[in-house]
Amino acid sequence: MNVIIKQIKTIERMDQLIRLRATGAPETFAHRLGVSKTKLYRTIDIMKTLEAPIVYNVTLQSYEYTKSVGFSFGFFTRQQRHKNVNYQSV
């Protein structure tokens, strides 16, 4: 699989787990994604560069968003965009 596509798929999966507040500790999160902890931290840094408000909640033992955000990547027709806004919020 193309490296860029693989990275996007990882970010999409991370976003899903963060929204569910089901990431677990960093070691668990990395294991769920099938990546190293180093790769996990690098990807979190990329997401933060893209303005994702991610923090680790020690009490919940999970990463979470501090604000309601949406993430969507892909192509769609303009007509689909207006009919099916594909953003989820926390």
Please report the pLDDT score of residue 47 as a whole number: 96
Q: Which residues pair with 64 in a beta bridge?
A: 55
The pLDDT tens digits for 19-55 are: 999 999 999 999 999 999 999 999 999 999 999 999 9
Q: Can you give the residue range of the structural domain that contains 23?
A: 3-65
Over the range 14-29, which residues count as b (16 or more CB within 10 Å of their CB) and which as e?
A: bbebbbeeebbeeeeb
Structural domain contains residue 24: yes
Per the model's pLDDT, the better-predicted residue between 86 and 30 turns out to be 30
Structural domain contains residue 40: yes
Structural domain contains residue 83: no
**Per-chain mean pLDDT for the chain:** 88
With a cut of 80, say whether residue 90 has pLDDT above it. Answer: no
What's the whole-model pTM score?
0.79
Look up the CATH number of the domain holding residue 20.
1.10.10.10
- Mean pLDDT on 4-19: 94
Number of domains in the chain: 1
